[in-house]
Structure 1
Amino acid sequence: MSEMAVHKLSLEPALSALRAAGESTRLRILALLSGRELNVKDLTQILGQSQPRLSRHLKLLSEAGLIERFREGSWVFFRLAEGTPEALLAEAIVAGLDRDDPVLQLDAARATAVQKSRAEAAQNYFKAHAKEWDRIRSLHVAEDQVEQAMIDALGRGPFDLLVDLGTGTGRILELFAGKADRALGFDVSHEMLSYARMKLEGAGLAHAQVRHGDLFHLPLADGEADAVVLHQVLHFLEEPALAIAEASRVLEPGGRLLIVDFAPHELEFLREEQAHRRLGLASEQIGRWCADAGLDLKSHHDLAPAGSGDESKLTVSLWLAEKASVGAAGEKPNSAAKDGAASSVEEAAA
């Protein structure tokens, strides 16, 4: 926020933004998007206006830089803009509105009802799969032990941008929200994204957001993040090395990658019933994949369950890697990461 404060709007962009906001429906939209993400269908239900009319309002607000849009499959979501002088102006406009105004109160009540309906659908999906996840959790140490080990491994922060790949329920974003100025989770499941969004909004974590995205092709610039987490994701993937390479690409030099997954095991039912592609991951393989991606493996820690000799139990492993600095020739070490990662996949399959 301090970095944004030194940038000011010149007269014409300021007038453009104020003109865009200077209409009753558009002011109501700004108020609704404060602290929440809504799509066009949500807004039509809340405001009782046609989609073409609302789309026009949203286009004007977006062009003026007061709101931003992002696509999630066939849906487009909107939220207040962030990180720009126009975003500061949008926040100031919303802050100056009287939330006791009857129109705004009715809008807020309708928004709560819409979000409740969306949350119920997401919770139904979560409940339908809860037994499967509970069974897996019963095979390893308690989640609070795993989470504390993750916090200890990744460090205090604060992180400018923490990225969680395969975010699922958004729990990792919740866990690290207090250590990040911004937290962003990606997943390909619309149901899980709905559930995660409901949880994050309910917790008041406006700076923690989820997006639909392929973890092999992230919509992030090179070096944009300073922390990335891959929690219980790699064992589902055909090519985990490529996911590590992509995580390395978006990390800045010195940025950290935390991988949490299972150590090698023999529980075949996880492959047959839970779609686990790999029965755990060996530390040596993780080390090779990290090296190929320009990452230095800094630490490896195992959390074995009580009675660790029991082959029906799972050991949770944590690996912390750090993005290598730019080489002497000025070339980033992960420039050939994907080629190296692909060769490592072939090694693992051999």
Structure 2
Amino acid sequence: MSIDRTGTTATVSFPNALGVLRAAAEETRLRILALLFEGELSVSDLTDILGQSQPRISRHLKLLVEAGLIERHREGAWAFFRLAEGRAGLVDPLIAGLERGSAPLSEDRARLDAVRTQRAETAKTFFARLAPKWDRLRSLHVPEATVEAAVLAALGDRPVRGLVDLGTGTGRMLGLLAPLASRATGLDSSHAMLSVARANLERMGLSRVDLRQGDIHAPPFPRGSFDLVVVHQVLHYLDDPARALREAARLVAPGGRMLVVDFAPHDLEFLREAQAHRRLGFAAEQIAGWLDEAGLDTIETRDLSPTDRGQLTVTLWLAADKRAATETDSAVRAVA
């Protein structure tokens, strides 16, 4: 028996419980579960931490996947593993209750910290090459802190069960919003940028955020998977932003919301060449029209205008799933 996130009592069948316990009842596999409790890791990470060969680690991972305890996802040529979302709840208290102060878990944790430090250094080196371009772009619009405050104000205190940040980049929006969500996921097409995001989130103590590599035009998630979908400063890079919003809207759960943040129309042509911008901003009615076509109602539009002449205006669009309004109207008509 276990308690799920909603507080509902869940049960595990005897055969399933037996299979789970058999999968976990081996030293290396239990050490792997303890490590993945701290966040997702690659095969290479686990090989370095546990000091075992890749074939042996891969075999243990395969058994844990088959038992439904962990799940695997690809990121380019890499494979990452994390604890499975629907794993049997009886394993969590076991892992959480393990005494971490003595070997082998204390040694595993020390090597995990070393792997994370190396990952952070690699990400820092990569991002240092991009920093001048990012700094120049940031100087062209209102401060990030102003945008983030507006995002939090627009979303309010409504609970978030599942959040996805499409085109997460460095993970800045995840760092802001993941603490508000029961489950947070970031998607980006760039393995290098996901490495930056992973390092940034780990530094913030958010290592259990799910990061995926994938195309924003074909996000690898089932329909209606999230009650909050975020598309932050992504659309101006895309050839077909309307299609991206349609795909993003597909992920919105009934009654869910989507937050879009991007530039208002501007005439800074140099951004096409210097920053690979495909679009020079978007009119409020243009994004609202695309959201409407995708089945969402725009419930709030907010312009964040800069104080300095020549800077860019940042616009926020908050949209809600139309199905919520339709279901409410139907219920009112039925009562009448």
- Please report the TM-score for the alignment, with normalisation by the length of structure 1: 0.88
Partner of 1:23: 26
CA distance in 1 between counterparts of 2:8 and 2:94 reads 16
Counterpart mapping for 1:223-238 below 5 A: 223-238=224-239
1:65 is the counterpart of 2:68: yes
Find the residue that maps to 2:230 and give its secondary structure: strand
How big is the shift at 1:207?
A: 4.7
Out of 28, 35, 38, the residue aligned to residue 35 of structure 1 is 38
Out of 299, 308, 317, the residue aligned to residue 319 of structure 1 is 317
CA contact (8 A) 2:40 2:208 kept: no
Partner of 2:330: none
CA deviation string 1:112-143 (max 9, x = no partner): 11221122111111111111111111111111
CA deviation string 1:312-335 (max 9, x = no partner): 311111111111117979xxxxxx
CA deviation string 1:74-120 (max 9, x = no partner): 21111222343x1x223222123221222211111112112211221
CA contact (8 A) 1:46 1:111 kept: yes
Partner of 1:95: 96
Out of 9, 14, 36, the residue aligned to residue 11 of structure 1 is 14
AA partner of residue 75 (structure 2): E
How big is the shift at 1:202?
A: 2.5
AA partner of residue 113 (structure 2): T
Pairs aligned (count): 324
> Over the residues paired in the alignment, what is the CA RMSD in angstroms?
1.7
CA contact (8 A) 2:255 2:324 kept: no
Find the residue that maps to 1:298 and give its secondary structure: strand
1:79 is the counterpart of 2:77: no
Partner of 1:345: none
How big is the shift at 1:203?
A: 2.0
Taking every aligned residue pair, what percent have the same amino acid on both sides? 56
The change in CA–CA distance for 1:83 and 1:304 in structure 2 (over 3 A counts) is: same
- Please report the TM-score for the alignment, with normalisation by the length of structure 2: 0.92
How big is the shift at 1:170?
A: 0.7
CA deviation string 1:244-303 (max 9, x = no partner): 101111102321111111111111110111100011111121122111111111121111
CA distance in 2 between counterparts of 1:203 and 1:214 reads 26
How big is the shift at 1:230?
A: 0.9
Find the residue that maps to 2:21 and give its secondary structure: helix
AA partner of residue 320 (structure 2): E
Counterpart mapping for 1:158-237 below 5 A: 158-237=159-238
How big is the shift at 1:206?
A: 4.4
Find the residue that maps to 2:85 and give its secondary structure: coil
How big is the shift at 1:2?
A: 4.0
In structure 2, runs of 5+ residues without a counterpart are: 328-336
How big is the shift at 1:201?
A: 2.2
Q: Is the deviation greater in 238-247 or in 36-45?
A: 36-45
In structure 1, runs of 5+ residues without a counterpart are: 330-350
Partner of 2:52: 49
Find the residue that maps to 1:222 and give its secondary structure: coil
AA partner of residue 172 (structure 1): M
